[in-house]
């Protein structure tokens, strides 16, 4: 604690609060805050370095995605020696799905530290997963692979990776439903249209028809989310039939 207090006394109050926040999430001391500050900088800030390069979390997001994939792939390779390439790829996709990463980012309340000119209430759900990936990228640059691996095990693998549970988890209800319709020679149609209503954020509605009959409806802030939501509802309508085929 004495060491941490000395660091905080040498920094501005803002840096000190940020250091405490990052240290609490990581479980170990960051060496350089600059990587983590970049990980929480949105492109709307329009910040550039002295060479004219844009500074925001998007490049770190790319790096973090690669690190997550590598650590989780290594874990699955070791834990499931009988799994072939296709199986391992599918399992990794379930672990690093956008939905799961968004949940992780929300749990850590990463959005509370974002520097942005856009009101936080206007961000979509993906901001949470993007920040989580950027944080992983920042850890790799700051402390290297071992600390990055340690963080991924603590936040992702140990609490959430259960092989048997993952094997039964559906990644995309839309993909599953389309595959089933094609196998059963059923026609399907996603009728998507903009439906803003009185909402500040743009919304889309979708009607999912199978064999000419509307099976489900849904509404969300993007076409993709609306289609996935409608597909999930339709899946439960046909769950018994689908389960027989898959």
pLDDT digits (tens, 9 = 90+) for 42-67: 999 999 999 999 999 999 999 999 99
Q: Which helix (H) or strand (E) holds 13?
A: helix 13-26
Residues, the chain, total?
A: 246
Q: Which residues are catalytic?
A: 65, 133
The answer to whether the CB of 124 falls within 8 A of the CB of 221 is yes
The answer to whether the CB of 111 falls within 8 A of the CB of 96 is no
Domain that holds residue 108: 2-167
- Note the pLDDT of residue 4: 41
> Do residues 151 and 183 share a domain?
no
Q: Rg of the chain's alpha carbons, rounded to an integer?
A: 21
How far apart, in whole angstroms, are the C-alpha atoms of residue 2 and residue 72? 36
Count how many domains the chain has: 2
- Note the pLDDT of residue 7: 40
For residue 219, list its beta bridge partners: 205
Among the listed residues 116, 109, 100, the one whose alpha carbon sits nearest the alpha carbon of residue 37 = 116
For residue 191, list its beta bridge partners: 207
Q: b or e along 31-40 (b: 16 or more beta carbons within 10 Å of the residue's beta carbon)?
A: eebebbbbbb
Where is mean pLDDT largest: 5-14, 18-27, 85-94, 233-242?
Answer: 18-27
State pLDDT tens for residues 116-172: 999 988 898 899 999 999 999 999 999 999 999 999 999 999 999 988 888 777 778
To the nearest whole number, what is the mean pLDDT of the chain?
A: 89
Among the listed residues 33, 31, 3, 29, the one whose alpha carbon sits nearest the alpha carbon of residue 18 = 33
- Here the CATH number for the domain that contains residue 133 is 1.10.1520.10
> Do residues 162 and 180 share a domain?
no
> How would residue 245 be classed by pLDDT, with cut points 50, 70 and 90?
low
Q: Please determine, for residue 5, whether its predicted confidence score (pLDDT) is greater than 70.
A: no
> Do residues 108 and 53 share a domain?
yes
- Note the pLDDT of residue 199: 67
* The last residue of a domain, from among 122, 151, 167: 167
- Note the pLDDT of residue 195: 78
Among 34-38, 138-142, 227-231, the minimum mean pLDDT is found in 227-231
- Here the CATH number for the domain that contains residue 215 is 3.30.160.20
- Note the pLDDT of residue 12: 53
Q: Are strands 213-220 and 47-48 parallel, antiparallel or unpaired?
A: unpaired
Mean pLDDT on 13-34? 89
State pLDDT tens for residues 187-212: 999 999 887 666 677 889 999 999 99
Residues with Cβ within 8 Å of residue 207, at least 6 apart in sequence: 190, 191, 214, 216, 217, 230
* Greater pLDDT, 145 or 90: 145
> Do residues 77 and 129 share a domain?
yes
> Do residues 131 and 216 share a domain?
no
């Amino acid at each position: 604690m004495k060491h941490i207090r000395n660091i905080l006394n040498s920094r501005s109050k803002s840096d000190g609060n940020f250091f405490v926040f990052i240290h609490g999430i990581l479980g170990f001391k960051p060496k350089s805050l600059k990587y983590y500050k970049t990980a929480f900088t949105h492109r709307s800030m329009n910040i550039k370095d002295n060479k004219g390069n844009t500074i925001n979390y998007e490049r770190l997001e790319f790096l973090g995605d690669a690190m997550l994939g590598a650590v989780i792939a290594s874990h699955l390779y070791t834990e499931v020696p009988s799994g072939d390439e296709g199986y391992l790829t599918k399992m990794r996709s379930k672990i690093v799905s956008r939905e799961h990463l968004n949940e992780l980012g929300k749990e850590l309340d990463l959005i509370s530290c974002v520097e942005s000119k856009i009101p936080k209430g206007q961000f979509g759900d993906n901001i949470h997963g993007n920040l989580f990936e950027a944080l992983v990228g920042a850890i790799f640059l700051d402390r290297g692979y071992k600390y990055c691996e340690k963080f991924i095990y603590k936040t992702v693998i140990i609490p959430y990776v259960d092989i048997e549970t993952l094997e039964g988890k559906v990644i995309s209800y839309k993909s599953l439903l389309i595959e089933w319709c094609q196998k059963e020679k059923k026609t399907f149609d996603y009728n998507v249209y903009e439906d803003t209503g009185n909402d500040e954020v743009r919304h889309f509605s979708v009607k999912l028809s199978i064999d000419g009959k509307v099976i489900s409806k849904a509404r969300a802030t993007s076409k993709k989310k609306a289609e996935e939501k409608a597909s999930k509802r339709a899946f439960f309508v046909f769950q018994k039939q689908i389960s027989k085929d898959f």
